[in-house]
Amino acid sequence: MEKVIVVKIGGSTLGSHDTTLEDLVLLQKRGMSTLLVHGGGQQVSSWFSRSAIPSRFIDGLRVTDAEGLEIATAVLAGLVNKRLVLRIQALGGKTIGLSGIDGNVLWASVKKPELGYVGEIARVNTTLLELLLGKGYIPVLAPICSGIVGDGVSLLNVNGDAAAGEIAAAIGAEKLVFLTDVDGIHDDSGKTIARLTPAEAQNMIGSGTASGGMIPKIEACLKALTAVRQARIVDGRASHALLKEIPNGSGGTTIASG
Ligand X SMILES: Nc1ncnc2c1ncn2[C@@H]1O[C@H](COP(=O)(O)OP(=O)(O)OP(=O)(O)O)[C@@H](O)[C@H]1O
Judged by the rule CB under 5 A, the positions of this chain that interact with Mg ion are 213
Among 10-18, 92-100, 132-140, 147-155, which window interacts with ligand X (CB under 6 A)?
10-18
81 scored as a contact of ligand X (CB under 6 A) = no
Of 16-24, 47-55, 91-99, 182-190: span binding ligand X (CB under 6 A): 182-190
Q: Is 97 in the site for ligand X (CB under 6 A)?
A: no
Beta bridge partners of 154: 147
Report helix, strand and coil shares of the chain as percent, to nearest 5.
Answer: 40, 25, 35
Q: Other C-beta atoms within 10 Å of 132: how many?
A: 20
Q: Does 139 bind ligand X (CB under 6 A)?
A: no
Q: Is 125 in the site for ligand X (CB under 6 A)?
A: no
Interface with ligand X includes 160 (CB under 6 A)? yes
Minimum CB distance to ligand X, residue 170 (Å): 20
Angle at 237 between CA 181 and CA 94, to 5 degrees: 110
Which range binds ligand X by CB under 6 A, 91-99, 101-109, 203-211, 240-248? 203-211
One of 124, 129, 214, 255 touching ligand X (CB under 6 A): 214
Give every strand in the sheet of 152-157, ordered side by side.
119-124, 106-110, 144-149, 152-157
Buried b (16+ CB within 10 A) or exposed e, 65-81: eeebbebbbebbbeebb
Binds ligand X (CB under 6 A): choice among 5, 10, 111, 163: 10
Q: Closer to ligand X at the Cβ: 88 or 233? A: 233
**Does 180 participate in binding ligand X (rule CB under 6 A)?**
yes
Task: Yes or no: say if 214 and 12 are a contact pair by the CB < 8 Å rule.
Answer: no
CB of 41 to Mg ion, least distance (A): 5
Q: Quick one: which segment of 7-15, 82-90, 103-111, 150-158 binds ligand X (CB under 6 A)? A: 7-15
Q: Is 254 in the site for ligand X (CB under 6 A)?
A: no
Q: What is the CA radius of gyration of the chain?
A: 17
Exactly one of 185, 205, 222, 228 binds ligand X (CB under 6 A); that residue is: 185
Least CB distance to ligand X at residue 29 (A): 26
78-86, 100-108, 179-187, 223-231 -> range binding ligand X (CB under 6 A): 179-187
- Which strands, in side-by-side order, build the sheet including 231-235? 95-99, 138-142, 33-38, 4-9, 175-180, 231-235, 253-255, 195-196
How far apart are alpha carbons 187 and 154 in whole angstroms? 39
CA distance 59 to 106: 22
List 186, 238, 243, 246, residue binding ligand X (CB under 6 A)? 186
How many other C-beta atoms are found inside a 10 Å radius of the C-beta of residue 189? Answer: 6
| Residues binding ligand X (CB under 6 A) | 10-12, 39-41, 160-161, 180-182, 185-186, 209-214
